[in-house]
Chain A
Amino acid sequence: MSSMKNDSVAAGGRRPWWLGLAILIMGALWLNGARGIASTTNYVGLGPAAIVLAVGLVLVLLGFLLIVQALKGQLASSAEDEEEEASFSRPAFLMALAGVGVPLLTICWLGFPFSAMLAFTLVTHAFGSRRTMLDLGIGALIASLAWLGFSRLGISLGPFFPLLG
């Protein structure tokens, strides 16, 4: 566990060059996208591709700058951040991430209330709660109340339980 943590610090915490790379790739995507936008010739002024192109160019430039900064060590976090970095908990992070991601898998066939209940329970467990039944119950209550309350306000949160049609 501790070696994993050190790896993550070495890869991401001290010299986060991948941050710049991500921005650079995003910029490249936008540049590539700009090529695919047909420019209309009968339109006076700037066409629809110009802004996409400009944004892509600047993103590539910024990504490049970020990589340079990271490799020079200028992106290294301050002392306070290092302290926080040291207390990073991978299982808790993954559990919370699962909580945010689980509705993607379930919402189409379990509906909002059940998906929200699962998300709620996973997030509470990421924060260290271990009373699963109680959390499931509270999650179901909050999610159902939200579903009912917002439905009354005229905001549709989909069918209560899609499997029942």
Chain B
Amino acid sequence: MDILNQLIGGFAVALQPMNLFWAFVGCGLGTAVGVLPGIGPALTIALLLPVTAQVNPASAFIMFAGILYGALYGGSTTSILLNTPGESGSVMTALEGNRMARRGRGAAALATAAIGSFVAGTIGTLALTFLAPAIAELAFVFGPEDYFALMILSFTSVAVVMGRSMVRGFAALFFGLALGTIGIDTQTGQTRMVFGTLELLDGISFTVVLVSLFAIGETLYVASRHSVAPAAVNPLSGGSWMTKQDWKRSWKPWLRGSVIGFPIGALPAGGTEIPTFLSYALERRLTPHPEEFGQGAIEGVAGPEAANNAAAAGILVPLLTLGLPSTATAAVLLAAFQNYGLQPGPLLFATNPDLLWGLIASLYIGNVILLILNLPLVGIWVRLLLIPRHYIYGGIVVFAMVGVWGLSTSWMDLALMFGVGLVGYVARVHDFPIAPALIGLILGPQAEIQLRRALAVSQNDWSVLVGTPIAATLLTIAALVLVVPPAIARLRRRDRAEGEPATSAG
């Protein structure tokens, strides 16, 4: 019952007019960036980070939560109508959703996506409500070696899961870790890797790296390859809202998608993409209408859309309870917490219950707002796509400059934006994942602190790192994450025909 009381307290915070206003702003912005290609929730929140200097934390996080969920709602819209997923979590939606739109069932596809997102978002938030405090309680017993092991697990799984090959994933991760070592060492006050410049003493700002990798890298990439003609918008032909049959075929995929999405989202390298793949595959296997798959089966929209929203709630579990980000967006949220001098984790539930429960309550409210914003108003959001692309990307660069220059009006930050932006472009061209770099940059310094703390306590006895059952287990899992996928790939390669070169295995 304690949780219910806390939640009611959270609603009291979230329902204050000012916070409701910020929730609306966040949901609106989130839907807009979800619809627009090239901008995602991570980038949007990063560009808004300077705002944290002025807005109180509860309001800011309520807005950020709206952006997180809103982007998923908006992403499904472009997947269905344009066949260009606005977000990586909406890729699977495009498969069946766009087929439906071409057959004049666009409105039904949008409806099942929006309602499915609402159902799954609410289920996911419920799970978060009851699970997070329990995990936070658990995390109280974590010592530095346990945290270090947890972060190692996070590093390895992010590097292994994301991207096309392990080497690329780890290259991205260590690029981030390397950037994280720049600046003054927090424990001894020594300067490290500053290359003789005063500007680098404070380290490289997370915002600068994120904005450059995403916004600048993406702009350079699209600009150099924009000759590919944009797809035409499928018109929303009328009279095709969800029929009784559609409802009957949708509700089970919604629930199954939620059940798949939440736990995977809560894993250290969950993300929102993998659950959508799994949900799509599952619906395809279970459907009574297998002949419709590939032609616009409504189950193929309902399931993945539910899965990605439930996963978004799942991502918040490790972030809020352990301070562990598992996606780029979560890493930005962690940076936002740090901007306020707050460290997400078990203590935050005790010291800032208003903030955390207000945030959780706002997720329920945000889902309702998004349903209202997206079901009847979808036509308005689609108009955003009529803005010429050169203005969208021009605007992205201007706002990237606002985000970077606004930090401390430092020329060095702009120069970094240029350099890291080029790195982002190269990463985009050669398929290096970006999330591991961001997670390495933000978690690396913390992992170092925990490691050195553990070793200081144990008087340099390295066995302390496997000294507790939790740490030993986590490190074992991390080792398995590292060893098992290549082993499986090798076995599979051996099973397959010998003449086949193994290019697809990695």
CB pair B171 A127 closer than 8 Å: no
CB pair A52 B220 closer than 8 Å: no
Residue B29, interface by CB 8 Å: no
CB pair B393 A123 closer than 8 Å: yes
CB pair A55 B178 closer than 8 Å: yes
Task: Given A74-B503, A87-B225, A153-B54, check contact A138 B391 (CB 8 Å).
Answer: yes
CB pair A157 B405 closer than 8 Å: yes
A121 to chain B, nearest CB (A): 7
Q: Which of B177, B178, B222, B506 is within 8 Å of A74, CB to CB?
A: B506
CB pair B406 A100 closer than 8 Å: no
Q: A44-B456, A126-B223 are in contact. List 19 more A-B contacts (CB 8 A).
A: A44-B455, A44-B459, A48-B187, A51-B444, A55-B174, A55-B181, A66-B167, A92-B224, A97-B220, A100-B397, A101-B418, A103-B414, A107-B411, A112-B405, A123-B393, A126-B390, A138-B391, A138-B394, A146-B398
A 70-99 contacts with B by CB, 8 A: 74-75, 77, 81, 84, 87-90, 92-93, 95-97, 99
Chain A interface size range:
35 or more
| Distance A93 CA – B226 CA, assembled complex (angstroms) | 10
Interface 0/1 of A144-156, CB less than 8 Å to B: 0010001001111
For B181, the chain A residues whose CB sits under 8 A away are: 30, 51-52, 55
Residue B452, interface by CB 8 Å: yes
Residue A10, interface by CB 8 Å: no
CB pair B193 A30 closer than 8 Å: yes
Task: Given A30-B193, A156-B406, check contact A142 B398 (CB 8 Å).
Answer: yes
CB pair B402 A123 closer than 8 Å: no
| A/B interface sample: 10 pairs, CB < 8 A | A30-B178, A30-B193, A66-B168, A119-B398, A120-B395, A120-B398, A127-B389, A128-B226, A146-B402, A153-B53
Residue B219, interface by CB 8 Å: yes
Interface 0/1 of B375-406, CB less than 8 Å to A: 00000000000001111011101110110011
For A56, the chain B residues whose CB sits under 8 A away are: 178
CB pair B506 A19 closer than 8 Å: no
B 392-448 contacts with A by CB, 8 A: 393-395, 397-399, 401-402, 405-406, 409, 411, 414-415, 417-418, 421-422, 426, 429-431, 444, 448
- B→A interface (CB under 8 Å): 50-51, 53-54, 165, 167-168, 170-171, 174-175, 177-178, 181, 185, 187-188, 190-193, 216, 219-220, 222-228, 388-391, 393-395, 397-399, 401-402, 405-406, 409, 411, 414-415, 417-418, 421-422, 426, 429-431, 444, 448, 451-452, 455-456, 459-460, 503, 506
B487 to chain A, nearest CB (A): 18
Q: Which of B50, B177, B393, B459 is within 8 Å of A55, CB to CB?
A: B177
A15 to chain B, nearest CB (A): 11
CB pair B178 A119 closer than 8 Å: no
Q: Which of B165, B223, B452 is within 8 Å of A127, CB to CB?
A: B223
Q: Which of B223, B228, B401 is within 8 Å of A95, CB to CB?
A: B223
* Interface residue SS majority, chain A: helix
For A107, the chain B residues whose CB sits under 8 A away are: 405, 411, 414
| Distance A30 CA – B455 CA, assembled complex (angstroms) | 23
For B431, the chain A residues whose CB sits under 8 A away are: 77, 81
Closest residue of B by beta carbon distance from A43: B188
B452 to chain A, nearest CB (A): 5
A 100-158 contacts with B by CB, 8 A: 100-101, 103-104, 107-108, 112, 115-116, 119-121, 123-129, 135, 138-139, 142-143, 146, 150, 153-158
Q: Which of B50, B390, B417, B460 is within 8 Å of A124, CB to CB?
A: B390
Q: Which of B168, B219, B227, B406 is within 8 Å of A89, CB to CB?
A: B227
CB pair A139 B398 closer than 8 Å: yes
| Distance A33 CA – B393 CA, assembled complex (angstroms) | 38
Interface 0/1 of A23-61, CB less than 8 Å to B: 100110010010001101001111111011001101100
Task: Given A52-B193, A65-B167, A92-B226, check contact A157 B188 (CB 8 Å).
Answer: no
| Distance A95 CA – B334 CA, assembled complex (angstroms) | 35
CB pair B456 A128 closer than 8 Å: no
For B224, the chain A residues whose CB sits under 8 A away are: 88-90, 92-93, 96
Q: Which of B226, B391, B417, B430 is within 8 Å of A19, CB to CB?
A: B430
CB pair A47 B426 closer than 8 Å: no
Closest residue of A by beta carbon distance from B55: A153
For A158, the chain B residues whose CB sits under 8 A away are: 405, 409
CB pair B455 A46 closer than 8 Å: yes
For A129, the chain B residues whose CB sits under 8 A away are: 388, 390
For A26, the chain B residues whose CB sits under 8 A away are: 175, 178
| Distance A13 CA – B398 CA, assembled complex (angstroms) | 30
Residue A21, interface by CB 8 Å: no
For A99, the chain B residues whose CB sits under 8 A away are: 394, 397
Task: Given A100-B421, A157-B405, check contact A84 B190 (CB 8 Å).
Answer: no
CB pair B399 A119 closer than 8 Å: no
B420 to chain A, nearest CB (A): 11
Q: Which 8 A-B pairs have the closest CB atoms?
A: A127-B390, A93-B224, A96-B223, A45-B455, A45-B456, A48-B185, A124-B390, A120-B394
CB pair A135 B394 closer than 8 Å: yes
CB pair A146 B405 closer than 8 Å: no
Closest residue of A by beta carbon distance from B187: A48
CB pair B171 A66 closer than 8 Å: yes
| Distance A155 CA – B168 CA, assembled complex (angstroms) | 37
CB pair A44 B506 closer than 8 Å: no
CB pair A103 B193 closer than 8 Å: no
CB pair A155 B225 closer than 8 Å: no
